[in-house]
Amino acid sequence: MENYFAVIGDPIAHSLSPLLHSAGYQSLGITAEYSRFRVTPSKLKEAVYGLRALGFSGWNVTIPHKESIIPLLDELTPEAENAGAVNTVKQLNGKLIGHNTDGNGFVLAIENKFNFSDKKAVILGAGGAARGIAFALKEKGMRIHILNRTLSRAQELASLIRLAGGEASSGDLLPGVWLKDVDLVVQTTPVGLYGENYPISLQGIKPKTLVVDIIYKPWETAFLREARKLGCQTINGLPMFLFQGVLAWEFWLGGKAPVEQMWAALVNEVQTK
């Protein structure tokens, strides 16, 4: 029996999810197909019903649907419930189960380069990816400061983290004293996807700070380029993208995903473009 999987979002043409998962299927000889569908917000409900009716085993969810898809699902895992966002859906016995692999995928992506203990993270953005990452960093014992253009969104997320027993604060998406007092900066918005400059500068940031942009295409956004020139350590979104996909794979199919083969396919793609 062939398994059908997909990723839905808008925009979606840049997504390397089909490449990532197809490399894994090929490596293990699994009969499966992974598609990419552009779904606008007004068509999300129809798309979810369609994927369910067509018997898709699961699908990934990206911008801008990670929160709005929740009412269309039957159940949430604790990871999705805590984050208030879903990036992975599994259809099991006719039920749609929402899961979030963003947070744990992010932790796996940086854990070999960063010591989480008693450190401060600043998260730029308060959308679906930010939520998953914030809760995962809370579990690692980090103090979290969330900055967002719409302050109420940052305040809401910080409040949820505090209710869950974490230490969190919020503010407007502006430079400030936080630049001198941060160990990890995570850029979670889509700004930079098309090469545009980031709306705030990192001038004044503490050197050696780890700065991560979850965008993986382009390889180095203007945001990361500035961070690198200011003496920061930088990581783009490709490692997180790998591990969130690996965790989604294992949620759908069980067993261990072929991480090395999936990573090799991604690196080969981005380095030859």
Separation between Cα atoms, residue 71 and residue 74, nearest integer Å: 8
Separation between Cα atoms, residue 138 and residue 250, nearest integer Å: 23
Write the CB contacts of 140 (distance below 8 Å, at least 6 apart in sequence).
107, 116, 117
DSSP code string of 206-269: PTT-EEEES--SSSS-HHHHHHHHTT-EEE-SHHHHHHHHHHHHHHHH-S---HHHHHHHHHHH
Six-digit token string for 205: 């940031």
Q: Which of 256, 257, 252 is nearest to 58 (CA)?
A: 252
b/e 101-126 (16+ beta carbons within 10 angstroms → b): bbbbbbbbbbeeebebeebbbbbbbb
Active-site residue, selected from the candidate residues 43, 66, 206, 217: 66
Asked about 66 being catalytic, the answer comes back as yes
The single residue listed with the structure tokens 């545009």 is 196
As annotated, the active-site residues are: 66
